[in-house]
Chains A and B, each alone.
Chain A
Amino acid sequence: MRMDETERRIPDQPWPRVGLFVLIAVVIATAGWEMYWRSNYFNSGEYVNSNGLWAIQRRAASEQAHPTVIIGSSRIFFDVNLDVWERVTGDRPIQLALEGTGPRPFLHDLAEDATFEGVVIVGYTPPLVFLDAFDLRLDAIDYYKTESPSEFIGQRLSMMLEARLAFLDGSNTPLFNILKNIPLESRDGVNPPHMSPRKLMTTGADRSTKMWSRVEQDTTYRKLARDIWVFLIEGLPKPPPDAPPFDPTPVFESVKTDVDKIRARGGDVVFVRPPSMAIWRDLENGGFPRERFWDPLLEYTNTGGVHFEDNSALQGLELPEWSHLAASEAEKYTEALAPLVLKALETREGVKDPSPGGSAK
């Protein structure tokens, strides 16, 4: 229809028949697609880890009286089982951790929220706490603050579908992610898209998260996950040899400011260092030794902390891809962790095994 016309022409087709064909074809194709993914470790009842889903929990953190809130990156996201924590302590925590993202902006966000007066459990993954470069999901905070009515409604409509359709996953299943994950030879200087982290977790409606079963059961997929970590870690920029040692003091100061604000309103903060192994543990302990980072952080901010290397009950657990606990191991970890966190909140010190065998294995 041109600008000077007022009536659109309709193509001459048997539209009822065409429409019926389209409807049947799409239903069959979608059903087939759904069946394919369900036969490949995907299940319904799992939700996309979207900013909208995060915003629902963030809102709850502001609205509930004296909540327990978990912030941090994927380790604390996977490793704390919300059901077990609730069973052990009687209190169900609100999960606000986000993968690939440091916790400090989220601690600051809670500190600036005058309505928040709860306990914050901060997942401590050393590079993500001290380096600002880890900001993969930082936009969640802005999304929460500026969520429009249409986004609010859209999230809830989407969750109705996600609850029923396994392929609505947002990570491995979208068409262009499938294409992105095809292992093509990379050009020099270009990070190959297929070597970025794949699906490792499943998430519930309240963001309770655990390791995806395929990582535990499919040895090929698990090896791929490890290979990707090796690729990413080896590709991290190295500081020049004559660079001065990283000074964590500004981080200590900003954390203390936020901790004090939360405490002034009757809340508290505690740090938790989840387990890691192999290449991850080497990087973290080598680049961020606890005597320069973890111990001084607790002392400077006068907070309690639970380090897995200090507590035998938190060691010897299975980490299929070296960085996150298997689902059943996360249950054991949480069962042992919860009382230690409560003790750390009480003493405002690092909690260690009382026996001499509390050193790292």
Chain B
Amino acid sequence: MLALHNAPFPWRAKKVNLLIASYLFYAAWNPPFVILLWISTVVDWYVAKAIFRSESQTRRRSWLVVSIAVNLGILGFFKYGTFLLENFVTIVGALGFDFQPAAPSIILPIGISFYTFQTMAYSLDVYLRRAKPAGRFLDFALFVTFFPQLVAGPIVRPTQLIPQFAEPKRASSKQLMWGLGLMTLGIFEKVVLADGALAPASEAVFGAGGTVPFVDAWLGAMAFGGQIFCDFAGYSTTAIGAALCLGFSLPNNFRYPYAAVGFSDFWGRWHISLSTWLRDYLYIPLGGNRKGRRRTYINLALTMLLGGLWHGAAWTFVAWGALHAAYLMLERWLRETFGESLIARKAHAQFVMGFFTYLLVNVTWVFFRAQDFGSAWSLVGSMFGFTAGATPALAGIYIIQAVVVIAVILVTHVWMRERELEDVVTATPSWLVGLVWAGMLFAIIITQGGGDAFIYFQF
């Protein structure tokens, strides 16, 4: 791709190359599912044009409903079809009916949650008059399928990416080098930190099959918290780097979330592209905080519950969303009741608040990772001292790996909380930049990697 992108072809030809490469990239997982990408692309291209041309609000709304129905329909069938059927069987069973449907075998298309939200954002932005439809179908198709961010984000807004396709883009040598550096950092986070260092501890605890001691429970949850951060942030960083190598800019998706002070702050730092999408297209249209206190809490809860469900078709994901909703509502209530003084500006108070935020986030990760509620509650019980009959799950080497890497992550996040990576790298001696980069690359090579998929590919 780099060679083709830097060859002396017309810009339109290069965009066609990128589009074909993106379809091939997606097809490399499962070729028939490219059809879903096409459906989403074609429907939203025509819907957005129809919305833009329509004078009648009723007609505009109707076209929007078409876009939402198609995108959520695809998402609903492939992602939630089995889940809905299982719950339907449970409900009718509770009512005394023995309904045994044929076992469905629905494959979850990779990246479906990401690209359907991205194309819906396009139609929604046109409907809300935040943006005009793209001038060229090629630019829009490329916006939907752009391979660096196709399968796991960042979920990019049309106004961020489509204008970049309007004029020729080619990475300067500086962009190429920084892009390669970001790709190295991302792959290092995924292969070395997530899969190599943290996954063994996480898997040992979550796969223990029985009650584990207090230390194992917390370390296992924190190891998973570190693993999912390094895995997902690693993917996002790699995607940003790959796009930069081609001359395109994607937004940050994480901003050192484990240094968050409170949950509003956390959601401004974790999976930023999703949290802002939910804010702009769900929370605010529902009324946000403009319709009174009670309605604000309802809107908050609904947004977080749906945010949990977005991650996966299981009640444990809904529980994860519900916990975050509860935390956010409690935080809002405390702020409204006691004023901003509670979240004191003093460093030690911020540190304590940040520490508790981190601990509470790790409690939510238990529901995110656990296979079922039984094992989730068992682990949460262990985290709060209910450890009767506990059997250790973690070997010494996994404890050491987890503790070291978690400590490094936390120190890094706290130190980088108000900093930008680009500024830190600029201020670092070049020999040290080179040494760290070479160290990460060498670590990737000697870790070898087991080819484990990114966790967020399943969403």
Contact residues of A with B, CB < 8 Å? 1-3, 5-19, 21-22, 25-26, 29-30, 33, 148-151, 153-154, 167-168, 170, 173-176, 179-180, 182, 184-194
Contact = CB atoms under 8 A, between A and B. Distances in A.
A1 B174 contact: no
Contact of B437 (A18, A150, A173): A18
B178 A21 contact: no
Contacts of B442: 25-26, 29-30, 33
Contacts, number: 146
A1 B180 contact: no
B439 to A, nearest CB: 8
Given A19-B177, A185-B396, 8 more contacts: A3-B160, A10-B172, A10-B174, A18-B433, A18-B437, A19-B180, A175-B443, A192-B396
A176 to B, nearest CB: 4
Contacts of A175: 192, 196, 443, 446-448
Q: What 6 A-B pairs have minimum CB-CB distances, sorted nearest first?
A: A15-B177, A150-B28, A11-B425, A25-B438, A21-B434, A184-B396
Contacts of B420: 9
Contacts of B445: 26, 30, 33
A67 B65 CA distance: 58
B216 to A, nearest CB: 9
A29 B396 contact: no
11 contacts: A2-B251, A2-B252, A8-B422, A13-B430, A13-B433, A21-B431, A148-B28, A149-B31, A176-B401, A190-B395, A194-B397
A18 B422 contact: no
B448 A174 contact: yes
Q: A25, A151, A188, A190 — which one has the most chain B CB atoms within 10 A of its CB?
A: A190
Given A9-B422, A29-B442, A179 B391 contact: no
Given A18-B430, A30-B442, A193 B252 contact: no
B437 A14 contact: no
Contacts of B318: none
B273 interface: yes
Contact of A190 (B174, B273, B394, B423): B394
Contacts of A185: 396
B5 to A, nearest CB: 17
A40 to B, nearest CB: 14
A25 B438 CA distance: 6
Q: B273, B431, B434, B441 — which one has the most chain A CB atoms within 10 A of its CB?
A: B434
Interface in B378-414: 391-398, 401
A6 B163 contact: yes
A16 to B, nearest CB: 7
Nearest to B438: A25
Contact of B272 (A3, A22, A168, A188): A3
B157 interface: yes
A185 B400 CA distance: 13
B33 to A, nearest CB: 11
A2 B240 CA distance: 12
A167 B446 contact: yes
A101 B276 CA distance: 48
Contacts of A186: 395-396
B226 interface: no
B395 A149 contact: no
A176 B28 CA distance: 29
A17 B173 CA distance: 12
Interface string B433-459: 111011001110111100100000000
